Structure 1
Amino acid sequence: MSETQSSTPNAPTYAATNIQILDGIQHVRKRPAMYIGDVHSRGLHHLIYEIVDNSIDETLAGYNDIIDLSLNEDGSVTVTDNGRGIPVDIHPEKKKSALELVMTVIGAGGKFDKGAYKVSGGLHGVGASVVNALSEWCEVEVSRDGKIWFQRYHQGVPQCEVQAIGETDKTGTKTSFKPDASIFKNTEFRKDVIIDRMRELAFLNSQLKIVVRDTEGVEDIFHFEGGISEFVKYTDHNRISLVKEPVFISGERDTTMVEIALQYNDSYQENVFSYVNNINTHEGGTHVTGFRKALTRTLNASAQKNDLLKNLKISLSGDDFKEGLTAVISVKVAEPQFEGQTKTKLGNSETQSIVESIVNEHLADYLESNPGVLKTVIEKVKGAALSREAARKAKELTRRKSALESSGLPGKLADCSINDPEHCELYIVEGDSAGGSAKQGRDRSFQAILPLKGKILNVEKARLHKMLENEEIKTIILALGTSFGVDEFAVDKLRYGKIIIMTDADVDGAHIRTLLLTFFFRHMRELIEAGKVFIAQPPLYLVKSGRDQRYAWDDDERTSIIESMKKQQKGKASVSVQRYKGLGEMNPEQLWNTTMDPEHRSLLQVTVENAMEADQIFSTLMGDKVDPRRDFIEKNARYVRRLDV
């Protein structure tokens, strides 16, 4: 360093003393998102899944058949299994109990030794130690070798030696932990989120029973002897199946175990859920590719063999076999290669050929023995092919129309002046009246307004070509600029950084909002996954007392404002309340101040935490079956806070 540099006033120093050396536990606490994704709800629940996954690994190894999960009154969680129990003997190199190493050292675990676990989901070996590091306190009891062994930790640091505290003739591990409130934004676990994952794990492991117990002692027990076949039935229970029972396929090649259950229903959507070693690979991978190729090839060959395509004038494509398909693909792989730390896509090339060969063999035999099922499915596939061809022609007409127009944008769209998508917003607004107020009240530089006329098509009950014939849906597609369809949709061409649904707070508004969300979830889910879709939150009330005017977004806030006003004017001034039944009742200035001004508005971001649960909700609300919809409304009506009836 030169003399001039060293004498620069107030210059920050950078020397050996500035280098921080963090051990594993400290690093986890300093950078928790690197290990669990985030410190919000998703990361919080991930703690439970890490501990449960260790018990699942014991199940996969053949040593455990029950997991007991208890939510405790103090905010802690207890997970108990009857597996072999974490080893407690002294590690020959580290000279510490194996239990302490598993709970406190990042990368310590039995998952790397294939003599201990042939198949495992927790391949990074960070599970229990990360949970321990991010907990205010953690306690582990291990039953093995005739004794109960115990160790307690505070923020990942052992508070005592591993010690025997009793005798037992059982085996297993009991882990209790309380998330650290200094790490997580919210430490309250959601029972519904936990139940969704535990149900999923029980479907995937037919030999396993999982018990979830809440703070009031209410138990939910999950045990499905039918395994993933019951998973498919559960997924499709709001739809009409085209076959009596799901087709179940299983086989093993070179230590890779494959289980697949599938069936076709009367819907126009595809639902394929894939798993590797119980990990949800929502981005798919080689196992899904192998399944799709085998399904298309086998169904096509069987249809040709039985002369079921003789009157079809167009060739079938792989997409035609997706319509109405529900499938669960579960593979157990000894050495899975996941793309990225998040483990959402399988990369093992050999898995594709293994899945292909197993599906080809077993599905061909099934179709040979069930010609009626084959005929029913092929009729469904042919209908999808005809719809695809009609949709292609509709797209071409749309393109020609756009080419003739100067901008290719819908006439009713009031666009913004800047063209940087990250700084632009599109408001999809219900009706011309609200659209007029929004157009006048907006900031024209970055806010675009697209008013809709009436309700859009319910895409849950319509094929692709019918959607593309619907004027409102075509208008939305043109405005977004992303194009449409499996091969053409491109999220990177989106013209707006935010898509904001703004509807009235009445029954019709709720219906229109649900129709729009159904469209985005079924056909542009990437927009939701990218965090681009939002719901506007206009106020429900305007409360006035003299010159004092305040907005309220729900009944509780309205009551609080009224009470506050009465205290400040000492009960003498009158208080009036205006209920906004529609966006059109607000003038442009009011709409801007309350709902569109980024400095003061409140937006709800639409997310998909659980694709299977979201699919269930949309098929319930927008499908053909009435009874499930009525049951859903009756069960959830008490949670509605912002609906005018």
Structure 2
Amino acid sequence: MQRGSGESMKTTVANLKEYTANDIQILEGLEAVRRRPSMYIGDTGIRGLHHLVYEVVDNAIDEAMAGYCDQVSVIVYPDGSVSVEDNGRGIPVDTHPKVNKPAAEVVLTILHAGGKFDNKAYQVSGGLHGVGVSVVNALSTWLELIIWRDGMEWHQRYSRGVPQCELTPVGKADRTGTKVHFLPDDTIFEEKDFSFDVLSSRLREIAFLVPGLKIDLKDLRNNKSVAFKYDGGVISFVEYLNRDKNPLFKEPIYIKGEKDDVLVEVALQYNDSFQERVFAFANLIHTVEGGTHVVGFRTALTRAVNEMARRQKLLKDKDANLSGDDLKEGLTAIISVKLKEPQFEGQTKTKLGNSDVRGIVDSIVYDGLMAFLEEKPDCLRPIVEKAIKARQARDAAKKARELVRRKSAFGGLDLPGKLADCSSKDPEECELYIVEGDSAGGSAKQGRNRTFQAILPLRGKILNVEKARLDKVLSNAEIRTIIQALGCGIGEDFDVNKLRYHRVIIMTDADVDGAHIRTLLLAFFYRFMPGIIEGGHLYIAQPPLYRVQAGKSEYYCYSDKELRNMADKLANKKISVQRYKGLGEMNPEQLWKTTMDPNERILKRVDVEDALAADEYFTILMGDKVEPRREFIESHANEVRNLDV
């Protein structure tokens, strides 16, 4: 053993001696971005792809916030390229004194080059790192830049970040602005198809946050288009989010103030639902992980409501103060702060860290709430009454959680009786199939690999969590069974590190009922176990839609397109086609072969590309109001695949 260790040490020393200055790589220009794109845009999947558009749009929005732009146009082309055009001042085209190149070329080819560092060109900006459009340029197969400025139209083309020509004037112009047209590099991005819904959701957010700005989105792949313009700002934002709810008071509470060069805007309104929807922005960047502005808001809300409730005798002396958690239920709020030197965690800007912002937001929101509730005291009573009911429900939910916790303690009491567990105890290799019905559950139990595949059959549809508090959710037998099987708790007790299966797979029939059950399960995980989705542990199984028999050979097709292609391929043979509507129609061997065999199956991982859009979809699809659901179905009818009639 000692001899082996000595030889290993000699080898290590030798390697260190060979490690010289010649081994140090210097990546020129934008090559660092192409080598490590995820460092700059988060990832190279669907999220990173859309981030490219946002980086270019952010530059146009900076012009709008500075007061020089009131129109932005985004176009998705059939070849997968995207253009972003604004009517701002146009990127400067004069020569930069330090590098002797046009300023526009500097902005597109040098990291950390931009007009947003000294607060002279832009008082408030989202893209503070100066890497935005240069990163887009680096990660694009080609990029075309058009600038209208100083009475001229200027053009330049790039290929993977490298200029292909000089910035050249091509004619006169009677307008100002910038147009960036780019094609993402398919050698870098795993996903190449832009989502109209994801783009429209982000552009709608921006339009709400910049009152009076008109944003057009056109998708030339399918001739879809939409325009956004909201003069009401964050008030309109809250009204939009609550359009499918029943508000507890008519008009949203609006608070605006400025302190120490930090501008704070807040709009909030309570409704009769059981979910909280709070969305926070810093310099128009959606801070999905919150930050100091959100902490300040929550502190002020709790303090102001308790103080006014005492004054109005809605809380008696013997009553405990309402907590922040009590005041979450039914709250819809938009928090928007604009500041000169925001400190974000990472280039993707998901959390605001400025410590002074907490106190500023707290002070402004507290004063605003106190003034509003003094003027309109009738708005306070429904808020307090709802919070008291929420507290009572939380106490009941705590008892229910304790019961579930005791039953789900691994190594303690028994796991759910209907669970057919796997023999492996390593979460990384274990997977749980949540299966619709006992019939399909039986086939899955017989067809599975018992070493790493567990089966949990559900009887009927689970509770619609959009219409229930946590205590009622925990009283549902099917949901309790799921919680016990997963072993990671729920709500305050949730700990993704205790998850017993690192692949949780929803497997339902390919019919209307199956789709409904799948949506109910997705809503449950999104609302009460979001960590499972964020951790990449939730999947949807894709069983085949058709079984094609040609003589002694059989084939499985997972879409109508696959069926047509298979029919063309087997045109010279006599075939019979079976349409599967239920998993129970497959015997264990077929279910294993088509849907459960890791070497053959198709699994779709559930990701939340846009938290606000996901929240809105679940609220519309599973909420109380019919009209928004009808509008949603009508607008997405053309996207339906495999319709079960």
Length-normalised TM-score, structure 2: 0.92
Please name the residue that 2:325 is paired with.
319
The one-letter amino acid of 2:68's match is Y
Residue 46 of structure 2 aligns with which residue? 41
How far residue 84 of structure 1 moved from its aligned partner, in angstroms, is 2.4
- 1:132 corresponds in structure 2 to 137
Aligned position for 1:9 = none
Shift of 1:563: 4.3
2:532 is equivalent to residue 532 of structure 1: no
Moved more, 152-161 or 335-344: 152-161
1:240 positional shift: 1.4
2:126 is matched by which residue type in structure 1? G
Bigger mean CA offset, 395-404 vs 634-643: 395-404
SS in structure 2 at match of 1:336: coil
The question of whether the paired residues in 2 share the 8 Å contact of 1:235 and 1:612 is answered with no
1:32 aligns with 2:33: no
Q: Offset of 1:395 from its aligned partner?
A: 2.5
Question: Of the candidates 433, 441, 445, which is equivalent to residue 447 of structure 2?
Answer: 441
Amino acid at match of 2:112: G
Tell me whether 1:629 sits opposite 2:634 in the alignment: no
1:328 and 2:330 matched: no
Distance 1:109 1:404 in 2: 55
Residues 41 and 347 in structure 2, CA contact (< 8 A), matched pair in contact too: no
Shift of residue 495, structure 1, vs aligned partner: 0.9
- What SS class does the counterpart of residue 83 from structure 2 fall into? strand
- Partner residue of 2:619? 619
Alignment correspondent of 2:14: none
* Counterpart position of 1:351: 357
In structure 2, the partner of 1:392 is: 398
1:312 touches 1:382 (CA, 8 Å); kept in 2?
Answer: no
Give the aligned partner of residue 435 of structure 2: 429
Report how far residue 406 of structure 1 moved.
4.5
Question: How far is 1:532 from its partner?
Answer: 0.9
Aligned-residue offset at 1:111: 1.2
Give the equivalent residue in structure 1 for 2:583: 583
SS of 2:483's equivalent? helix
The correspondence for 2:205, drawn from 174, 193, 200, is 200
Q: What is the CA distance between 1:511 and its match in structure 2?
A: 1.4
Residues 169-215 of structure 1, C-alpha deviations (whole Å, 9 max, x = no match): 53322323233344334544333322222111111111322122333
Aligned to 2:4: none
Count of residues in correspondence between the two structures: 636
Q: Check 1:564–1:410 CA distance in 2 against 1; reply closer, same or farther (3 A cut).
A: same
Residue in structure 2 matched with residue 253 of structure 1 by the alignment: 259
Unpaired runs of 5+ in structure 2?
A: 1-6, 12-16
Tell me how far apart the structure 1 counterparts of residues 318 and 396 of structure 2 sit (CA, whole Å).
14
Q: Where do 5+ consecutive residues of structure 1 fail to align?
A: 7-11
Contact 1:302 / 1:364 at 8 angstroms: preserved in 2? yes
Of 104, 111, 131 in structure 2, the residue corresponding to residue 99 of structure 1 is 104
The residue identity in structure 2 corresponding to 1:479 is: A
Structure-to-structure mapping, 1:113-128, within 5 angstroms: 113-128=118-133
Bigger drift between 152-161 and 618-627 goes to 152-161
Distance 1:73 1:495, change over 3 A: closer
Match of 2:218 in 1: 213
Cα deviation for residue 315 of structure 1 reads 5.0
Q: Corresponding residue for 2:60?
A: 55
Question: Does 2:344 align with 1:338?
Answer: yes
- After superposing the two structures, state which structure 1 stretch, 188-197 or 330-339, moved more: 188-197
Q: 2:596 matched to which residue of 1?
A: 596
Which amino acid in 2 is paired with 1:493? K
**SS of structure 2 residue aligned to 1:341:** coil
| 1:399 Cα deviation from its structure 2 partner | 4.3
**Aligned equivalent of 2:3:** none
2:280, 2:286 within 8 Å by CA — same for their partners in 1? Answer: yes
TM-aligned CA distance change 1:451 to 1:71, over 3 Å: closer
Match of 1:189 in 2: 194
- Alignment-mate amino acid for residue 583 of structure 1: L
Q: Does 1:305 align with 2:311?
A: yes
Equivalent in the alignment of 1:474:
480
Contact 1:246 1:262 in 2 (8 A): yes
CA-to-aligned-CA distance 1:393-416 (integer Å, 9 cap, x gap): 222334455679953421221111
Looking at structure 1, the residues matched to 53 and 580 of structure 2 have their Cα atoms a distance apart, in angstroms, of 43
Closer, same or farther: CA 546–77 of 1 in aligned 2, 3 Å = closer
- Say if 2:563 is the partner of 1:558: yes
CA distance in 2, matches of 1:45, 1:312: 53
- Tell me, what secondary structure is at the counterpart of 1:86? coil
Could you tell me which of 150, 154, 157 is aligned with 1:152?
157
The offset of 1:303, in angstroms, is: 1.1
Which residue of 148, 160, 168 corresponds with 1:163? Answer: 168
- Contact map agreement 1:110 1:117 (CA 8 A) in 2: yes
Deviations 1:124-148 (A, max 9, x none): 1111212222223323233333433
Determine helix, strand or coil for the equivalent of 1:24.
Answer: coil
* CA shift in 2, pair 1:643/1:350, >3 Å: same
Considering only aligned residues, what root-mean-square deviation do their CA atoms show, in Å?
2.8
CA drift of 1:234 comes to 1.4
TM-superposed CA distance for 1:356, in Å, is 0.3
Q: Tell me which moved more, 556-565 or 110-119.
A: 556-565
> Which string of whole-angstrom CA distances, capped at 9 and with x for unpartnered residues, describes residues 81-101 of structure 1?
232222222222222222221
Most deviating of 612-621 and 214-223: 214-223
Structure 1 94/562 Cα, relative in aligned 2: closer, same or farther at 3 Å? Answer: closer
- Between the aligned partners of 1:219 and 1:508, the Cα distance in structure 2 is 32
Question: CA 1:14–1:628 in structure 2 vs 1: closer, same or farther (change >3 Å)?
Answer: same
Letter in 2 for 1:89: D
